[in-house]
């Protein structure tokens, strides 16, 4: 089986096989954020997975729809109102859950819950006065990185974490908004296997 997967991967790279179908990510907002936040969210999320050869098809929905079986899809539910921070906080004493992915036994499911308010309050501890003119962009970037963390759990079917900046157990607030934070080589390699094996199996 491994040899077959490797052969399929080589053929795809060589252009013999058609490009893999994108992973569908369905975005459901209780309160839709501004266009600037949405655009930053889309741009960052697509960029993070592009390096692993995974194309995302980001769609906005009102409710969770029925999906075709061959479609690789995840639903991201954003709750508590998605607005950037309005104050700068120097210390955050209370530990807050930014997001979580649902599980059934050892299987990681395709449903992610994001607490927008907690993300906003968390990154407010890393915001500086020089960031005030681009809060919406930074907030969209932070949401994308929180989502990418949970999508990694789902795509890899893995509840454990690594020591990387985006896939560690407690991602630092600054790493959610800083320039140049990407997935690490080991994570990219595992995501490429996910993409190849999903294509061989006909999708998730």
Q: How many domains does the chain have?
A: 1
Q: How many Å apart are CA 113 and CA 101, to the nearest integer?
A: 6
* Side-chain-facing half-sphere of 113: CA atoms under 13 Å: 8
How do residues 50-97 score in pLDDT, each as one tens digit? Answer: 988 899 999 999 876 655 555 678 999 999 989 999 888 877 656 689
How do residues 16-60 score in pLDDT, each as one tens digit? Answer: 334 568 899 999 999 989 999 999 999 999 999 998 889 999 999
DSSP 3-state assignment of 31?
coil
pTM, 2 dp: 0.84
Local structure of residue 5 (DSSP, 8 states): H
Task: Give me the sign of the Cα torsion angle 107, 42, 70, 51.
Answer: negative
Q: Is residue 10 part of a domain?
A: no
Q: Is residue 195 part of a domain?
A: yes
113: containing domain = 21-201
Mean pLDDT over each residue of the chain, to the nearest integer: 84
CATH of residue 58's domain is 3.40.390.10
Q: How many Å apart are CA 171 and CA 118, to the nearest integer?
A: 13
Confidence of residue 5 (pLDDT cuts 50, 70, 90): very low
Q: Is residue 75 part of a domain?
A: yes
Q: How many Å apart are CA 177 and CA 201, to the nearest integer?
A: 36
């Amino acid at each position: 089986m491994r040899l077959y997967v490797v052969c399929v991967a080589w053929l795809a790279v060589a252009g013999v096989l058609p490009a893999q179908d994108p992973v569908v990510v369905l975005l459901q907002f209780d309160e839709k954020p501004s266009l600037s936040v949405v655009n930053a969210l889309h741009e960052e999320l697509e960029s993070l997975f592009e390096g692993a050869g995974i194309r995302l098809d980001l769609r906005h929905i009102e409710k969770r729809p029925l999906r075709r079986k061959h479609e690789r899809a995840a639903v991201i539910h954003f709750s508590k109102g998605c607005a950037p921070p309005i104050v700068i906080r120097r210390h955050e004493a209370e530990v807050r859950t930014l997001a979580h992915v649902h599980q059934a036994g050892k299987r990681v499911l395709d449903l992610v819950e994001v607490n927008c308010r907690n993300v906003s309050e968390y990154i407010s501890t890393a915001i500086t006065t020089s960031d005030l003119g681009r809060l919406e962009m930074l907030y969209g970037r932070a949401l994308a990185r929180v989502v990418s963390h949970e999508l990694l759990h789902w795509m890899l079917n893995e509840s454990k974490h690594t020591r990387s900046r985006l896939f560690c157990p407690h991602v630092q607030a600054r790493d959610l908004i800083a320039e140049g934070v990407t997935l690490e080589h080991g994570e990219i390699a595992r995501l490429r296997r996910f993409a190849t094996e999903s294509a061989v199996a006909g999708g998730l």
